[in-house]
Chain A
Amino acid sequence: MRTGDYKQTYGELVALIDSPPVWLWSAVLLLALIAAPYLLNSYALSFLMIILITTTGALGLNILTGYTGLISLGHVGFLVTGAYAYAVLVSKYHMPPLVGFLGAGVVPALASLIVGAPSLRLKGLYLAITTLAFSFIINTVILEMRWLTNGARGIQVQRPEILGISFDSDAAFTYLCLVVAALTLFATLNIRRSRVGRAFVAIRDNDTAARVMGINLHAYKLYAFVTSAFITGIAGALYGIYLSFVSVEGFPFLLSIEALAILIVGGLGSALGAVLGTILIVLLPEATRVAFSLFSAQMDATFTTGAQELKSMLYGLVIILFLRFQPRGLVGAWHDIKRAWVHWPLRY
């Protein structure tokens, strides 16, 4: 009988996948995702696209908030910077989309250096407030730089064509999002098990102790900021392409809250949690709408008129309920279930 996980070497401890069934299920999931664009109708496909794009963004925030423990309330600022970098490079200056994606990563990363470098003196709440301020300032900067960004009029963005492959159809664009999300997931999992990732977690758990252990706090906090902004920027570019129109209104402050809600619901500091959280948070408004419309048509009408408000109310409610009753998120719940399953009928 398996009574626990006995890891004997360091390699086993940091292995990405530690048991054959997990390999099997991951492969099944990947195959399902590859088949999905052919099987789903366009309505369901749009949800899949949103989930993949949001996963990328949530994984980006997870590096900063989940691993390193630095709260950012202004991640939508990096999202919008990435989207604009892509839109300006590709739609305005007709660069190849790959250059656009690179720019969508690099520009927010540079912006994060500007915000991050002075913010490093700050901790917790204060950092949350500076990032919040950043996201408002960046919106004004974008609106004021009319010669580059068209101000409030926004920029039209076409679906890209990369290396001769056109990503114009929904199915093809879903594949692009899938590739980016999978690469991001793989990258964050690998960061987590590297020296840098361990330093991030050490800073989160106790920064004074981490410093005593010889971790250069400033450098590693900046790494976290830059990596996180890079990934978030690319998610922003994808989101801009999905919307096919980049404007300041397309990236409301609510997205920052949504990203934090995803991390809390999924379980802070876990890549799996970011993925699970994204699925729940993206599908929650739709699931609630369907559930309520079963009861009465009037409820359904309320949902269509006040969709945005109901969505934000749901996010708020989910944040509060999870923090209150399941602070470790879905991942924590999953671990509890697994343990109960293995040890049943014993408690532990």
Chain B
Amino acid sequence: MAADALTLRRRHARPRVRLMPQLTGWGFVGPATLVIVGLSIFPAVWALILSLRDDNLLAPGSFVGLQNYRDLLDDPDLRAATLHTLLYSVLYVPGSLVIGLPIALALNRPIRFRAFYRTCLFVPYVVSAAATGILANFILDPQFGIVNDLLAGAGVARQGFLQDPSQALLTLVVVSLWGSVGLPIVVYLAALQDIPRELLEAARVDGAGAVRVFRAVTLPQLRPATVFLVIWQTIDALQLFDLVYTTTKGQPLDSTTVIVFYLYQQAFQLFHAGYGAAVAYALFVVTLIVSGAALWHARRGEAPS
């Protein structure tokens, strides 16, 4: 009995003592929680419900269960959009790393006007994708663009670029790389400056040449940065939308219709909002799996060392 009474009293006593610190804690966390719940979780749940409905957001729709998800599997246009997205990602993600790393290495050396070069390379990243797209439209116009004028001057045949079904997606990759290579450069630069000087010096003292130092010391030290960049750039690539919207609108012949642009078309131009939400959710799951796999792979690679 006595013990019971004791625990009872304790139970009563505890909240009173902890109330203030708890309130303070919630005071700090509250606003952010509200923002996350209101702007992320609430819409995400709403979209999940929408993906189970045949709905255009105008007329009252109906609950269709998993029908939208079944339709995903048998949609040749979505399959084509997925292929375009994959092709884009496969070119864009390694491309941005392969271009970004040497530039970061160069900018990490004591050269003249280094800060100026760094700024120049980062500016395109700061420019919005919309501006990049409009600019690309101008200079790559097959008939009136400056790039074709230069090519013609150099004796090369005029190209269709964004208006040629076989070139459009590749052109988009190039434009994206131009616009976003600033990120890998900055991330690699920061990582390069974090490599302990002693490691590099020790390697040189041991007689390693420049190439050997790069392969045996620099690259492994850059691993966390590389993992981060691969995940980040992959998510970026899978969600490509703004550049397509401002340049090709998925044309010519749907050759640049990527997944997010396709779901936008379905939801807002063809009035299949439920189906669009289902595509969004499928993409979300795929992105989650891809990021998870990349992280897992990275951790496994770290384990032995």
Asked if A and B bind, the verdict is no
